[in-house]
């Protein structure tokens, strides 16, 4: 089966987040990233567009009662740029995390110029 999307991990934001997680959480993260690479239509429970942002999406991971989010956005064609992740502690995605994701997105496009 060929991949529908290609993941690009920008700088070390994702890696730092990933390395802090337990093995169980890491496995679920990798499983979810595979869904994003492989499925034609990704269910919203795994990838959701964030309203009031400049095209940011959150990759959604749930392990037991713990919820994790990894920010990403699309570049040309089917290139998914993976930014930072965090553990979600409340109903709403914290503004500071969204601002950080916007900053990472800006950094990414500046680095391409």
Angstrom distance (rounded) from CA 112 to CA 18: 25
**Average pLDDT for the chain:** 96
- Residue 23 located in a structural domain: yes
- Residue 60 located in a structural domain: yes
Overall domain count for the chain: 1
Which CATH number does the domain housing residue 32 bear?
A: 3.30.2310.20
pTM above 0.85, yes or no: yes
- Show the domain range for 58: 6-112
pLDDT digits (tens, 9 = 90+) for 38-88: 999 999 999 999 999 989 999 999 999 999 999 999 999 899 999 999 999
Q: Does the structure show a pLDDT above 80 at 1? A: no
């Amino acid at each position: 089966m060929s991949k529908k999307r290609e993941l690009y991990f920008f700088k070390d934001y994702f890696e730092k987040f990933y390395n802090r997680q337990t093995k169980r959480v890491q496995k679920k993260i990798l499983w979810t990233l595979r869904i994003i690479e492989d499925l034609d239509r990704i269910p919203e429970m795994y990838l959701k567009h964030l309203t009031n942002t400049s095209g940011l999406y959150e990759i959604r991971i749930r392990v037991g009662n713990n919820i994790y989010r990894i920010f990403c956005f699309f570049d040309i064609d089917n290139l998914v740029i993976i930014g930072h992740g965090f553990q979600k502690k409340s109903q709403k995605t914290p503004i500071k995390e969204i601002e950080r994701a916007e900053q990472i997105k800006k950094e990414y496009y500046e680095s391409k110029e």
